[in-house]
């Protein structure tokens, strides 16, 4: 499950990278998490940024663990589920990101957060889907999901899923209308080389969505199977 990422690039950098117009100042997110309102480029407003809740809104989550079904859309389910298939056809988005977090299993009951970033891109776009519906008060509500692909990097201790990262060449195509499902799925390629990505252990403070500061992506000591900190893997 992908449930944390970062987007700390300033507005000008995002605008230049994705060729959009945006003059709104952005708050850096070193702990982008479900229930937060985060910047997207959506297919119906691809000239600028939209701000959309990830998965659900805070008052509905009640601080409980949020189902992966609300925040992730596995690629193998995109054509199997009617709601995801419909979203793939008409409600696609790009999620700007500087990096993302995954948890490594270090014991029977212990996991350690790691921060991942691309070696050749300080800022990249993840493929996503967005939804629109009325909330309990009759107000229009928008949420989004990150599409996930298979983990083909040979690091299965981080789980079976990776976020679907679009190539620069496919970003604009991803937002175009009228594309067939097979064309869209062909744009979603899993990372297949460990040389394309870097990762390192980070502070367990990432588990608290209320924490948001630059030091969260700094390298921290690893921990052994007993939960003790160690300087070596």
Predicted confidence at residue 63, as pLDDT, reads: 56
Name every residue whose Cβ is closer than 8 Å to that of residue 217 and which is 6 or more positions away in sequence.
Answer: 6, 30, 99, 115, 202
Q: What is the 8-class DSSP label of residue 40?
A: E
At 232, is the pLDDT very low, low, confident or very high (cuts 50, 70, 90)? Answer: very low
Query: How far apart, in whole angstroms, are the C-alpha atoms of residue 136 and residue 217?
Result: 37
Q: What is the mean pLDDT of the chain?
A: 89
Task: Answer yes or no: pTM beyond 0.85.
Answer: yes
Query: How far apart, in whole angstroms, are the C-alpha atoms of residue 98 and residue 6?
Result: 5
3.90.1680.10, 1.10.10.10, 3.40.50.300, 3.40.605.10: CATH of 5-230:
3.90.1680.10
At 233, is the pLDDT very low, low, confident or very high (cuts 50, 70, 90)? Answer: very low
Query: How far apart, in whole angstroms, are the C-alpha atoms of residue 157 and residue 10?
Result: 33
At 110, is the pLDDT very low, low, confident or very high (cuts 50, 70, 90)? Answer: confident
pLDDT in tens, 170-204: 999 999 999 999 999 999 989 888 889 999 999 99
Q: What is the CA radius of gyration of the chain?
A: 17
Predicted confidence at residue 182, as pLDDT, reads: 95
pLDDT in tens, 70-99: 999 999 999 999 999 999 999 999 999 999
Span 99-123, average pLDDT:
91
CB atoms within 10 A of CB 60: 15
Helix intervals (H) in the chain: 11-18, 58-61, 68-71, 82-90, 168-174, 181-186
| Domain coordinates in residue numbering, the chain | 5-230
Given a cut of 50, whether residue 231 has pLDDT beyond it is no
For 28-67, what is the HEC assignment? CEEEECCCCEEEEEECCCCCCCEEEEECCCHHHHCCCCCC
Look at phi and psi of residue 158 and say left if phi exceeds 0, alpha if psi is from -120 to 50, else beta: alpha
Query: How far apart, in whole angstroms, are the C-alpha atoms of residue 113 and residue 157?
Result: 12
Q: How far is CA 15 from the centre of its chain?
A: 19
Predicted confidence at residue 52, as pLDDT, reads: 95
Burial class of 130 by CB neighbour count within 10 A (0 to 12, 13 to 18, 19+): buried
Name every residue whose Cβ is closer than 8 Å to that of residue 169 and which is 6 or more positions away in sequence.
Answer: none
At 223, is the pLDDT very low, low, confident or very high (cuts 50, 70, 90)? Answer: low
Residue 171: phi and psi, rounded to 5, are -60, -50
Closest C-alpha to 88, from 134, 33, 45, 131:
131
Span 130-154, average pLDDT:
89
Query: How far apart, in whole angstroms, are the C-alpha atoms of residue 104 and residue 159?
Result: 8
Query: How far apart, in whole angstroms, are the C-alpha atoms of residue 128 and residue 91?
Result: 9
């Amino acid at each position: 499950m992908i449930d944390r990422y970062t987007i700390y690039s300033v507005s000008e950098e995002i605008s230049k990278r994705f060729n959009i117009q945006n003059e709104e100042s952005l708050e850096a997110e070193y702990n982008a998490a479900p229930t937060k309102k985060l910047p997207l480029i959506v297919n119906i407003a691809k000239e600028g940024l939209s701000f959309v809740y990830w998965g659900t809104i805070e008052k509905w989550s009640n601080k409980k663990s949020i189902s992966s079904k609300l925040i992730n859309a596995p690629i193998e389910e995109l054509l199997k589920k009617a709601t995801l298939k419909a979203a793939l056809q008409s409600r696609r988005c790009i999620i700007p990101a500087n990096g993302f977090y995954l948890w490594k299993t270090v014991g029977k009951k212990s996991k350690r957060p790691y921060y991942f970033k691309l070696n050749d891109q300080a800022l990249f776009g993840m493929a996503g889907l967005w939804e629109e519906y009325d909330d309990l008060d009759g107000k229009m509500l928008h949420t989004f999901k990150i599409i996930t692909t298979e983990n083909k990097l040979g690091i299965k201790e981080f789980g079976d899923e990776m976020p679907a990262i679009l190539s620069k060449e496919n970003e604009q195509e991803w937002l175009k209308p009228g594309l067939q499902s097979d064309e869209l799925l062909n744009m979603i390629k899993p990372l297949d080389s460990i040389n394309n990505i870097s990762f390192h252990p980070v502070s367990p403070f990432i588990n608290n969505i209320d924490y948001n500061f630059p030091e969260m992506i700094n390298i921290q000591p690893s921990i052994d199977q007993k939960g003790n900190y160690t300087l070596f893997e």
